[in-house]
Amino acid sequence: MRSGYFKVDYRRDRELFPLFIERLVLAVAVVAAIILPLITDRYLLHLTNLTMIAIVGAIGLNLLMGYTGQVSLGHAAFLAIGGYTTAIVAGYLPQLPFPVVILIAGAVTSVTGLLAAVPAFRLKGLYLALSTLAFYYIVMFIILKAEPLTGGAMGRHIPELNFFGLELDGEYAFYPVGLAIVVLGLVLAKNLLRTKTGRAWKAIRDWDLAAEAMGVNLRMYKTLSFTTGAFYAGVAGSLYAYYIGFISPQDFTFTVSVNYIAMVIVGGMGTLAGTVAGAAFITMLPNWINQLAGYLQSLWPAFQASTAVPYLERLFFGLAIVLFLIFEPEGLFGLWKSLRNYLVMWPFRY
């Protein structure tokens, strides 16, 4: 009698979703994704769109932090580069189909990821984190000063999503685009992690010296991790720019980097399913708090919802991170894993 789920042959190892429960959840997710625009209002669809953008960006950070163990405080800079590349390319070439623009944004951001990777050759941990922070400030400084291109602090408008002359505008038009890119991003990342590169990243994360001793080229794979993570962030920045229609440096504050780190921690470092859950949790949290405050105000009219919301939000945000770090370091994915194992083994506990 097996005492859990184990991959005992190569066929099982190749399966993307080996368990029935996982396939069931996937099927429910597919149905939910299809019917969501039909049953939800525009605001919730707007939040869903923002969540999808966050998922794409968080995959990038998770590849870097969760799978390669490279701490980054500069993720907002990659998002900004993707956003501004989109604003510039789509601004000058409005007839260019949006998938091309998004790819260009991803590619340009990926190249800047090369620069951010250089300090990682020699630095680790806190020192690497500080170097990515420096990278963030340098990028934001350049964006502010390159006014003819970026609009400086005044920001830039972005034309609507253009698909061979067809303009896609609004929450409902963006939804299928965002969904397609999220699915594509997840499938690509999932498969990438099963290749030699993915295994090398995990080896570096677990112990870089041992990885090097086994023949893993640290420089190459760290650089690959940074460029891939930056590519995802660039695509997310591009989607954000297209979706909101206007970007300025205030859209890419340091808080954005912190939020992405929170997504990865809450969702579960080194898990793609956790990335989705973490991105949804952190993006939806302000809305939940807002609704809670409104509910409390309806119970106690003296309760000032509008002033309490930010404090409640910070409280829950901090609490969620601390509690997950202490009690479930694998994040929401850890919870899911426990539930999944419980269901697989049911009625036995072990």
Partner 1 sequence: MQRVASKWFWLVAVLLVGLLLAGCGGGSGKQSQSEGQLGQQKEQTPRQEVAAEGITPDAIKVGIVPDVTGPTGDIGVQSQAGWDTYFKLVNEQGGINGRKLELKVEDGQYDQSREISLFKKLHTQDQVFTVVDVWTTGANQALLPDYIKEKNIVFPQSRATFMFEPEQNPYVFITSPPYHIGYYAQVDYVAKEKPGAKIGVMYPDNTFGQDGFKWIKKRAGEKGLTVVPEVFNLSDVDATSQLTNLKNAGVDYVLLVQAGLQGAVIFKAADQLQFKAPFILNYNTTEPPLIELAGNTEAIKNAVGVTFYATFAEDVPGIKQVEEMAQKYGVEKKLYYSQWYLMTWTDAMVFTEGLRKAGDNPTTDTLKEAIESLQDFNTGGLTAPLSYSASRHYGSKQVKYVKANVEKGYFEPVSDWYTPEEG
Binding site for partner 1 (CB under 8 A): 41-44, 46-47, 50, 144, 152-155, 157, 170-171, 244-246, 248-251, 281, 284, 286-292, 294-295, 306-307, 309-311, 316, 319-320, 323, 326-328, 335
Nearer to partner 1 by Cβ, of 43 and 163: the residue is 43
Closest by CA to 270, choosing from 131, 129, 70, is 70
Residue 17 CB neighbours (<10 A): 13
153 vs 166 by CB, closer to partner 1: 153
What is 229-265 written as a DSSP string?
HHHHHHHHHHHHHHHHSEE-GGGG-HHHHHHHHHHHH
CB of 315 to partner 1, least distance (A): 11
* Helical pair 331-345 and 272-299, crossing angle rounded to 10 deg: 100
Residue 130 or 335: which CB sits closer to partner 1? 335
8 Å CB contact between 249 and 128:
no
What are the tokens at 326? 């202490």
The neighbour count for residue 322, using CB atoms within 10 Å, is: 11
Least distance to partner 1, CB of residue 334, Å = 9
Closest to 81 in 3D by CA, of 47, 114, 119, 122: 114
* Residue 301, Cβ density class (10 Å: 0-12 exposed, 13-18 middle, ≥19 buried): exposed
In the complex, what is the shortest distance from the CB of residue 111 to partner 1, in angstroms, rounded to a whole number? 26
Shortest Cβ 284–partner 1 spacing (Å): 7
Closest separation between CB of residue 288 and partner 1, Å? Answer: 3
Helix (H) or strand (E) holding 311: helix 305-327
Give 229 or 249: the residue with its C-beta nearer to partner 1. 249
Distance in Å, CB of 169 to partner 1, minimum: 8
The residue (of 144 and 258) whose beta carbon lies closer to partner 1 is 144
- CB nearer partner 1, residue 23 or residue 42: 42
